[in-house]
Amino acid sequence: MNETARKYVAMFRQVKIASAATVDEDGVPQSRIINVMLAEDDGMYIVTSKGKPFYKQLTDTGRIALSAMCPDCQSLKFTGKCRIADKKWVDKVFEENPGMNEVYPGDTRYILDAFHIYEGRGEWFDLLHYPISREQFAYGGDEIEKAGFEITDACISCGSCSAACPQKCITEGTPFSINPAHCLQCGACLEVCPAGAVKRLHR
């Protein structure tokens, strides 16, 4: 895991309370609040018990999406893959989250499995300060997602996109260029460009 990913995985653990989304067998999105129990160099760990729909959705799909809000209003999002980890990880979760013993005293903890979120990609997003900031991260072999917009060589340097940009993150040039770290991904530049030079990167 590189430094950027380590920083944001640690932030998920620091925030701890996250919304976890899965898809059920009918393809319907489901979401619930969970705790990010461990942040390790090989990924994040969560636990859930075998009887829960959440457990079934995790094992059926091997996929999870997380989102969390930091205390100073910066948000985190993540999508990745998970699998059941060895039972020793349940013990490690209880060591580092002792409050779990009140919910699952003694050996009752072993109805839980730990899920290792072993790869994925995400983004930190700060909407509180101007200009907005975002930074992407990935680990476990996943790659940073292409998102937002870029300006191609079809640009005729008319300046319309720059005038329309709410974050003023478009720099003049041939062609003009967008700074993705401060882009809202609002699409105003795409709407106003007379030359069709603004390309959407995300699906």
Residues contributing to the site for ligand SF4 (CB under 6 A): 149, 151, 155-161, 164-167, 169-170, 175-176, 178, 183-189, 192-193, 195, 197-198
User: Please, which residue, 14 or 171, has the CB nearer to ligand SF4?
Assistant: 171
Angle at Cα 122 formed by Cα 147 and Cα 94, nearest 5°?
A: 170
User: Please, which residue, 90 or 155, has the CB nearer to ligand SF4?
Assistant: 155
Q: Which amino acid is at 158?
A: C
Q: How far apart are CA 145 and CA 52, in angstroms?
A: 31
User: Please, which residue, 19 or 167, has the CB nearer to ligand SF4?
Assistant: 167
Contact 200, 191 (CB under 8 A): no
- List residues bridging with 76 in a β-sheet: 68, 124
For the CB of residue 131, give the shortest distance to ligand SF4 in the complex, in Å: 9
For the CB of residue 186, give the shortest distance to ligand SF4 in the complex, in Å: 4
Structure letter (DSSP) for residue 148: S
For the CB of residue 124, give the shortest distance to ligand SF4 in the complex, in Å: 17
Residues 6+ apart with CB under 8 A from 80: 43, 63, 64, 65, 117, 118, 119, 120, 121, 122, 140, 142
User: Please, which residue, 64 or 155, has the CB nearer to ligand SF4?
Assistant: 155
Tokens of 91: 């013990």
For the CB of residue 77, give the shortest distance to ligand SF4 in the complex, in Å: 18
Residues 6+ apart with CB under 8 A from 26: none
For the CB of residue 122, give the shortest distance to ligand SF4 in the complex, in Å: 20
User: Please, which residue, 120 or 148, has the CB nearer to ligand SF4?
Assistant: 148
Contact 199, 152 (CB under 8 A): yes
User: Please, which residue, 29 or 187, has the CB nearer to ligand SF4?
Assistant: 187
For the CB of residue 123, give the shortest distance to ligand SF4 in the complex, in Å: 14
